[in-house]
């Protein structure tokens, strides 16, 4: 005998009897387990996991204060903020006010609007075919009584006739007359929208905003620029297929004065971990070549060779060449010891060894290259807001090409991996202030005190981030680990791609840089003994060469001493781009002038214009070689920023990593032809794949193996 079938009600009761499990696991995730019947009539288990994340946002003080007001009425005594059970919190609604108060104006009717548009287009006035009134025939009040009285003396079946004061074009047979041939038209090709006329988009003052992130939306820019005045239009350039932003936008204002003020305030300002570039947008037809150049810098960051830019850079190079001639006479003396006068001060300068000469076939004996890396360093450096995951990509690519497995002729490995140590408080205090370190390294700091956050520069381009307390001592320690390798004679060349932070100031962060590892390394190198072949006893000399697109303001200012009266231990030379408003703005970023009261012969700058290429650096290099030969450094610190390479979002220089005058060409000469110990550091570079390709190639250059080539991808 078969068992009786259960009814659907029994099934419901059975499911209802199943307990619903609801608990919070050890990770703080709420887990809810329940049972239900699927479409096939089978009982299934449904598990829901909910993770709550606390998000903090910065709002106006008045808004924050209003949220803490005591509730009243039926909500009296409840906790602060909206009750999620009874209140739905939606997105902010932006109220867009009109340009003027139009409530007092009479709204024109649809018919009147059409008449006005026809008059503007030069089509003439509206004439009724029945009563000859100034209205449409379909709305004639006499159409019922005059409908059959239409005569042949009406010249056209159209509702409009040419204006009396303007001769009309021929229009026989009731044919349609295009706007370009109507009376008052400006000629063929004219648009009915009157492009270029008053009130058109071409008339609006428009700013071109570059170096914005891919995630930037129109509303983000409208909110940013709307603080200065009414924004008429915002356009963000996007890829047609993927919809990802291309890094540029156009913002139009109704008032040119407001646009000018916005450009002055926002050009060079940090926004979304990038530095904005805000300039006037040229109108179509004004300067076709300028538009082509601007398009190439954003869409295809391989710049056009412009004679004006090349001439400006060449002029700077010639000026620096003349200045170096004066510096040589100031630094180098024919005798081992002689008296020389520098700006009225009589000093004694000791002449050291004669610089060693190299030709293209001469190479310094290769030794293992110290490569600073560890899993902890890669993890922490990859958290940097301006270069997320760049460190991971760089070291992964170096490992993928097997550079670490290459061997020297004597059988030992080309690369010796060194695990970085953490910098001690004493080492960090050698340059940074205690107040800045106490604030930045405090693990319990919630960074809600906006006055202190601004004081220590932890905002805009240098926001606090998770792992910052580990990042600062570890990156500084990584660069100092390379100095330790020199001290113990482990290597002649050391590489630390996670270092090279040349904008961090003594008492605050700046320009994506939280710790001044370059300065800490130079201070440590000064204390090391000089090379045994340096001639008469003297202190060590350190040459700092910065190849980043941006001026090394922190390093140059740290060792700048206009009252120098003897041979300095440190010489800084920065080759960078300089333009009005381009970060960082510093009086030391321009060409040095010996007549200037702030002139220091050991703090040198060579600013280059847009479009600087390998050809430009090939012209610059003899000047650098002469400075090096005259100063005769024992240690060379090279900041190898790659934000000047073609393909970087900065899109300013047209430099490459291969060929004569390239970045690889320069590093090859420094590593294999210059005497002294060399420290190669990272720096800027805001396209992580671009930076990984460049630094992987430079690593192969440092170990003397060019097998991977310059076309790695």
Catalytic positions, written as ranges: 503
For residue 250, the tally of other CB atoms under 10 A from its CB is: 17
* Tokens 């810098």 -> residue: 297
Two tokens, residue 314: 């060449």
* Residue with token string 């040459």: 543
Q: Do the Cβ atoms of 314 and 322 come closer than 8 Å?
A: no
Label residues 448-483 b or e (16+ Cβ within 10 Å = b): eeeeebeebbbbbbbbbeeebbbbbbbbbbbbbbbb
C-alpha 111/C-alpha 117 separation (Å) is 10
Q: Where are the beta strands (DSSP E) in 633-694?
A: 635-639, 677-681
Give the largest CA-CA distance in the chain.
124
Please list, residue by residue across 61-81, b when 16 or more beta carbons sit within 10 angstroms of its beta carbon and e when fewer do.
Answer: eeeeeeeeeeeeeeeeeeeee
Q: What is the DSSP string of 269-323?
A: -EETTEE-EEEEPPPTTT-HHHHHHHHHHHHS--PPP-HHHHHHHHHHHHHHHHH
Contacts with 150 (C-beta within 8 Å, 6 or more apart), sequence order: 129, 130
Task: At 206, give phi and psi (nearest 5°).
Answer: -120, 135
Mapping DSSP onto H, E and C, the string for 465-529 reads: CCCHHHHHHHHHHHHHHHHHHHHCCCCCEEEECCCCCCCCCCCCCECCECCCHHHHHHHHHHCCC
Q: Which two tokens stand for residue 707?
A: 């097998």
Q: What is the 8-class DSSP label of residue 184?
A: T
CA–CA dist 466, 118 (Å, integer): 63
The answer to whether residues 687 and 583 touch, using CB atoms and an 8 Å cutoff, is no
């Amino acid at each position: 005998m078969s068992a009786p079938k259960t009814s659907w009600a029994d099934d419901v009761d059975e499911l209802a009897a199943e307990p619903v499990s609801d608990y919070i696991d050890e990770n703080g995730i709420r887990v809810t387990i329940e049972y239900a019947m699927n479409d096939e009539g089978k009982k299934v288990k449904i598990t829901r996991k909910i993770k709550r994340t606390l998000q903090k946002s910065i709002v106006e003080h008045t808004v924050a204060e209003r949220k803490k007001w005591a509730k009243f009425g039926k909500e009296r005594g409840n906790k602060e903020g909206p009750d999620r059970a009874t209140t739905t919190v939606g997105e902010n609604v932006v109220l867009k006010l009109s340009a003027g108060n139009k409530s007092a104006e009479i709204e024109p009717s649809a018919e009147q609007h059409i008449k006005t548009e026809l008059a503007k287009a030069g089509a003439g006035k509206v004439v009724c075919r029945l009563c000859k009134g100034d209205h449409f025939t379909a709305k004639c009040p006499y159409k019922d009584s005059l409908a059959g009285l239409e005569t042949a003396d009406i010249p056209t079946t159209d509702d409009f006739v040419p204006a009396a004061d303007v001769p009309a074009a021929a229009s026989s047979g009731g044919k349609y007359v295009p706007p370009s041939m109507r009376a008052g038209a400006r000629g063929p090709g004219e648009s009915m929208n009157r492009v270029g006329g008053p009130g058109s988009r071409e008339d609006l003052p428009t700013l071109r905003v570059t170096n914005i992130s891919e995630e930037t939306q129109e509303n983000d820019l409208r909110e940013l620029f709307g603080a200065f005045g009414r924004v008429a239009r915002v356009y963000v350039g996007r890829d047609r297929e993927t919809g990802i932003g291309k890094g540029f936008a156009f913002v139009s204002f109704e008032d040119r004065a407001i646009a000018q003020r916005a450009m002055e305030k926002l050009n060079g300002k940090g926004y979304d971990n990038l530095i904005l570039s805000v300039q006037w947008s040229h109108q179509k037809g004004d300067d076709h070549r300028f538009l082509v150049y601007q398009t190439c810098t954003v869409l295809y960051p391989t710049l056009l060779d412009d004679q004006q830019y090349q001439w400006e850079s060449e002029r700077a190079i010639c000026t620096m060449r003349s200045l170096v001639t004066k510096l040589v006479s100031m630094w180098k003396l024919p005798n081992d010891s002689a008296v020389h006068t520098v700006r009225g001060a009589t000093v004694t300068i000791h002449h050291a060894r004669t610089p060693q000469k190299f030709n293209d076939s001469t190479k310094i004996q290769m030794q293992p290259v110290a490569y600073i890396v560890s899993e902890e360093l890669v993890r922490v450096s990859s958290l940097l807001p301006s270069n997320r995951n760049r460190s991971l990509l760089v070291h992964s690519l170096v490992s993928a090409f097997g550079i670490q497995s290459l061997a020297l002729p004597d059988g030992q490995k080309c690369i010796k991996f060194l695990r970085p140590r953490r910098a001690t408080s004493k080492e960090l205090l050698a340059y940074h202030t205690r107040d800045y370190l106490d604030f930045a390294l405090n693990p319990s700091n919630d960074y809600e005190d906006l006055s202190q956050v601004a004081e220590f520069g932890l905002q805009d381009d240098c926001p606090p981030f998770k792992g910052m307390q580990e990042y600062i001592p570890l990156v500084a320690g990584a660069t100092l680990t390379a100095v330790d390798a020199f001290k113990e004679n482990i290597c002649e060349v050391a590489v630390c791609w996670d270092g090279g932070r040349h904008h961090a100031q003594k008492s605050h962060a700046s320009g994506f840089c939280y710790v001044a590892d370059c300065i800490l390394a130079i201070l440590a190198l000064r204390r090391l003994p000089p090379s045994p072949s340096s001639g008469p006893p003297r202190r060590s000399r350190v040459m700092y060469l910065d190849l980043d697109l941006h001026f090394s303001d922190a390093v140059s200012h740290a060792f700048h001493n206009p009252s120098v009266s003897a041979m300095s231990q440190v010489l800084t030379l920065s080759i960078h781009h300089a333009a009005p408003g381009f970060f960082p703005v510093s009086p030391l970023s321009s060409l040095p002038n010996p007549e200037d009261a702030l002139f220091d012969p050991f703090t040198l700058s060579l600013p280059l214009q847009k479009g600087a290429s390998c050809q430009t650096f090939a012209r610059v290099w003899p000047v650098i070689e002469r400075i090096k030969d005259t100063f005769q450094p024992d240690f060379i610190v090279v900041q190898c920023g790659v934000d000047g390479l073609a393909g970087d979002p900065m899109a300013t220089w047209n430099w490459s990593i291969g060929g004569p005058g390239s970045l690889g060409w320069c590093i090859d000469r420094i590593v294999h032809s210059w005497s002294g110990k060399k420290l190669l550091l990272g720096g800027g570079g805001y396209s992580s794949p671009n930076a990984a390709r460049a630094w992987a190639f430079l690593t192969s250059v440092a170990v003397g193996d060019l097998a991977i080539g310059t076309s790695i991808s």
